[in-house]
């Protein structure tokens, strides 16, 4: 991985971007893709689209990831200055207690901790509910807390990027800043190849709260095909419930979704490109939908052939998600090559 792409990846991961509050992260992404795009445009909610203008008779291909991460939101402030919180997306209360957090207030970040009763004083260890959580920002009372934070301020865990080895990193928000990074990198590779296709790199908002951004973008773009990059469950760790999902592992390469939303012609096309480029792939069975932006893209404008490619990810929706950057590079290579050769696989439609 080159130094600039690596720096951009780290910057994306370290820039808070909870659903509904993605502006800062989108600026990082836009600054990067603007270097090799013919145009970058945004909409009213902050979806960002980089455009490479190809031949007018060529296919239009969209490569997408979502910019937002899970988090919390200040729901109220109690009389003693503690913050009561609500969810942003699928935040997990069971990993929240005892964590450092940052409240992203109007006047700047406010540091806090999610309290936890000491083990010596607890009578049981039941799974907590979101209503059981509180944040301590060191305030004496409600008035003091309200001078620093406001109801509706977003909150993220304070964890940063940690390189566990040369290629494996841990961070919060890997779901799905790695997807937007791959979309940008695959776009760059396609542009540098001189592809005749019109290629879009897309960074959507509000996926974690219902794939809202994809519904907006899909209606606006109407491409010939969409490849959505998101994370999938790697189950190559002790006690992993491997019976609940496909057998995905870190370093095993891109995981191609098969079933439901995933278009069979796109699936076959990506497998063909992977074989040609000697990229190992995994297959992820997705019989009831993908749980990703693809579920909104594929019906946004009637019928858009859509395909999910998953990044193997350990410990999803925790502050310590783990991926292998070799998988990120392989997916960027795969999608860049696919966009460059998309004309070989058109039209993207099933034979009846």
Residues carrying an active site annotation: 207
Dihedral sign computed on CA atoms, order 247, 275, 195, 330: positive
Q: Which residues contact 143 (CB under 8 A, 6 or more apart)?
A: none
Q: Is 317 annotated among the ligand-binding residues?
A: yes
Classify residue 162 by burial, with Cβ atoms within 10 Å: 0-12, 13-18, 19+: exposed
Q: Is 275 annotated among the ligand-binding residues?
A: no
Angstrom distance (rounded) from CA 117 to CA 115 = 7
Is the separation of the CB atoms in 144 and 115 below 8 Å? no
Q: Is 100 annotated among the ligand-binding residues?
A: no
Count of other CB atoms within 10 angstroms of residue 179: 30
Sheet holding 39-42, edge to edge: 39-42, 48-52, 198-204, 60-66, 225-233, 306-313, 255-258, 282-285
Cα angle value 278/281/286 (rounded, 5°) = 155
Count of other CB atoms within 10 angstroms of residue 4: 10
Is the separation of the CB atoms in 325 and 167 below 8 Å? yes
Q: How many CA atoms lie within 13 A of 180 on its CB side?
A: 35
Which amino acids are annotated as binding site for Zn(2+), given as ranges? 66, 175, 208, 230, 317
Which amino acids are annotated as binding site, given as ranges? 66, 175, 208, 230, 317
């Amino acid at each position: 991985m080159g130094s600039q792409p690596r720096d951009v990846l780290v910057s994306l991961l370290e820039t808070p971007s909870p659903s509904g509050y993605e502006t800062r992260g989108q600026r990082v992404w836009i600054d990067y893709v603007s270097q090799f795009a013919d145009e970058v445009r945004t909409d009213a909610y902050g979806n960002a689209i980089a455009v490479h203008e190809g031949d007018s008779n060529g296919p239009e291909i969209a490569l997408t990831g979502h910019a937002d991460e899970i988090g919390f939101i200040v729901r109220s402030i109690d009389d003693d200055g503690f913050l009561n919180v609500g969810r942003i997306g699928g935040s997990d209360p069971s990993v929240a207690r005892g964590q450092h957090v940052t409240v992203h207030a109007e006047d700047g970040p406010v540091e806090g901790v999610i309290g936890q009763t000491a083990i010596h004083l607890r009578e049981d260890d039941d799974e907590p509910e979101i209503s059981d959580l509180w944040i301590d920002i060191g305030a004496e009372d409600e008035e003091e807390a309200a001078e620093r934070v406001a109801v509706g301020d977003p909150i993220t865990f304070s964890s940063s990027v940690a390189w566990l080895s040369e290629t494996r990193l841990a961070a919060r928000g890997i779901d799905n800043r790695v997807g937007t990074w791959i979309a940008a990198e695959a776009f760059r590779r396609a542009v540098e190849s001189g592809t005749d296709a019109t290629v879009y790199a897309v960074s959507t908002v509000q996926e974690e709260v219902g794939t809202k951004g994809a519904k907006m973008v899909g209606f606006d773009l109407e491409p010939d095909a969409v490849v959505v990059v998101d994370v999938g469950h790697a189950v190559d760790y002790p006690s992993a419930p491997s019976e609940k999902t496909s057998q995905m592992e870190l370093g095993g390469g891109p995981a191609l979704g098969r079933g439901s939303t995933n278009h069979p012609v796109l699936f076959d096309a990506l497998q063909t490109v992977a074989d040609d480029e000697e990229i190992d792939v995994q297959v992820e069975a997705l019989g009831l939908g993908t749980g990703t932006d693809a579920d909104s893209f594929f019906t946004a404008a009637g019928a858009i052939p859509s395909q999910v490619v998953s990044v193997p990810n350990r410990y999803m929706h925790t502050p310590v998600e783990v991926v292998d950057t070799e998988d990120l590079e392989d997916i960027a290579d795969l999608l860049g090559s696919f966009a460059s050769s998309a004309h070989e696989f058109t039209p993207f439609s099933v034979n009846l």
